[in-house]
Amino acid sequence: MGLFNLLYQDVYSSGVEGVGPILSFLLGFLLVFLAIILVICILTIIGQWKLFKKAGKKGWESIIPVYSTYILCQISGVNPWWLVIVFASGFISGLIPALSILSTIVNVYFGVLVAVSVSRSFGKSDGFAVGIYFLGFIFYLILGFGNSKYLGPKPMKDIIFKDTPNGNNNVSTPEAAVYEDTNSSQNVYYCPSCGTKLSSDTKYCPHCGREL
């Protein structure tokens, strides 16, 4: 029995020593991962802080989770009731796991809706919205510190809420918006995506590339 106990203790101690490096590696990986997440959050807040100030909002509003998304909806013209839909879909999927795909679809669509609407509201193309969606912490910095100007809410066409929160129809129509110039008898054309002033024979917006 003494020999058996000796062998058992030897194997047990060897097993513990083998587990130690694995635990150290996992702990180090977790710390690096958390540090990356922290850096991404800080960069996102800094970019949104500048972006909010450009849009006439308060910079500190970018610090508050959920509320900062609500402010993005106001800035871009996305109906803020989408936040309720997102949380409701998450709650339902928690109760009924089989409906988790519904929550995923809602979250993806809302993310695309906000990204495209924010991009258009600052005179950027829909291609720029891809960067906002996947690498928001970088592209919010570009919008905040770059030379882009806030052009007012310019939401993407919404499949649920047909109108913007203030009751006006979405500006993203197939044709360029036309306004009467009060200083002359000529009409003035503006890109429906970024608001750039256009001539009547323009086929593509020179600023965002939108086909007119």
User: What pTM value is reported for the model?
Assistant: 0.70
CA distance 21 to 14: 12
| 90 within a domain of the structure (yes/no) | yes
Alpha carbons 128 and 115: distance in angstroms, whole number: 9
d(CA 33, CA 125): 32
Residue 209 placed within a domain: no
- Please check whether residue 173 lies inside any domain of the structure: no
Question: Does 102 fall in a domain?
Answer: yes
Q: Based on C-alpha coordinates, what's the Rg of the chain?
A: 26
What is the Cα–Cα distance from 210 to 201, expressed in whole angstroms? 14
Which CA distances in Å does 23 have to 10, 16, 29, 36? 20, 10, 10, 20
> Which pLDDT does position 21 carry in this prediction?
81
Calculate mean pLDDT across residues 13-29.
Answer: 73
Say if 121 falls within a structural domain: yes
In a domain, 136, yes or no: yes
Query: Residues 24-38: pLDDT tens digits?
Result: 889 999 999 999 999
Domain that holds residue 36: 15-152
d(CA 125, CA 114): 13
What is the rounded distance in angstroms from the CA atom of residue 125 to the CA atom of residue 172? 12
Average pLDDT along the chain: 81
Residue 87 lies in a domain: yes
Q: Measure the N-to-C terminal CA separation of the chain; round to a whole number of Å.
A: 89
| Confidence class for position 209, pLDDT limits 50, 70, 90 | low
| Domains of the chain: total | 1
**Encoded amino acid at 139, one letter:** F
Q: Considering the domain boundaries, does residue 145 fall inside one?
A: yes
Structure tokens at 142: 């570009």
Is the Cα torsion angle 132, 143, 171, 174 positive or negative in sign? Answer: negative
Confidence of residue 167 (pLDDT cuts 50, 70, 90): very low
- With the CA atoms of 109, 106, 75 and 211 taken in that order, what torsion angle do they form, in degrees rounded to the nearest 10? 20
